[in-house]
Amino acid sequence: MFDDRTDAGERLADLLERRDVESDLVLAIPRGGLPVGRAAADRLAVPLDVVVAEKLGAPGNPELAIGAVAGDGSVWLNDELIDHLGVSSAYVEKVRENEAENAREKVASYRGGKPVPELEDKRVVLVDDGIATGATAIACLRQIRNAGTAHVTLAVPVAPGDAESRLAGEFDAFVCVQSPREFGAVGQYYRSFEQVSNEEARAMLESYEP
């Protein structure tokens, strides 16, 4: 069990150090990934920024994700589920466009109008507070890799035991503190899993001093 996201970030940072992970930048998936990413970025002595992806909800059931899309349009689709539900390509494209715009708006809100960092030839660590389905993580990883990064490490405190193999090909390295075979929800592995406010998220982004 992690006490909270900051504790999880410290333990993740310990593992990143032991693995000798080198990074130019930590990107966190907001909002839950920011406290974890803040701890990791501080330990690695690199800037912290954000990358955002939004889930694509199924018709009539927005909580059921049929995929996810990042702000640049990078997308991951659950083709098996889409076929099973009979979702039309027109619906997928419409919701993809809408959610990509939502992701861009969130990035702008968190970053306060600051320019997006240059990722080409950079070593990037992508951090979240945990992985369940991996949908948003994959969309974010695809955006990062499409930007021409030199190396991408996906780093999380907790993920299902099959996460590394299931997401293989989306990253160059995978770092995870706990990988239980029997996995429920990410929040089950935290004693405190309170929602991170927008104000707290912005403060974490602004706290780095090179």
Radius of gyration in angstroms for the set of CA atoms belonging to the chain, rounded to a whole number: 16
Spell out where 18-168 has E strands: 25-28, 48-50, 53-58, 61-70, 75-77, 123-127, 151-158
Residues 143 and 176 in one domain: yes
Residues 130 and 46 in one domain: yes
What is the pTM assigned to this prediction?
0.90
126 three-class SS: strand
Rounded mean pLDDT, 40-60: 92
Q: How confident is the model at residue 209 (pLDDT cuts 50, 70, 90)?
A: low
150-168 pLDDT, tens digit per residue, is 999 999 999 999 999 999 9
122-140 pLDDT, tens digit per residue, is 999 999 999 988 899 999 9
Question: What's the number of domains the chain is made of?
Answer: 2
> Rounded distance, CA 179 to CA 158, Å?
6
Residues 180 and 134 in one domain: yes
Residues 130 and 35 in one domain: yes
pLDDT of residue 210: 46
Residues 67 and 47 in one domain: no
Is residue 181 over pLDDT 90? no
Domain enclosing residue 107, as ranges: 54-111
- Taking the CA of residue 145 as centre, how many other CA atoms within 13 Å lie in the half-sphere pointing to its CB? 16
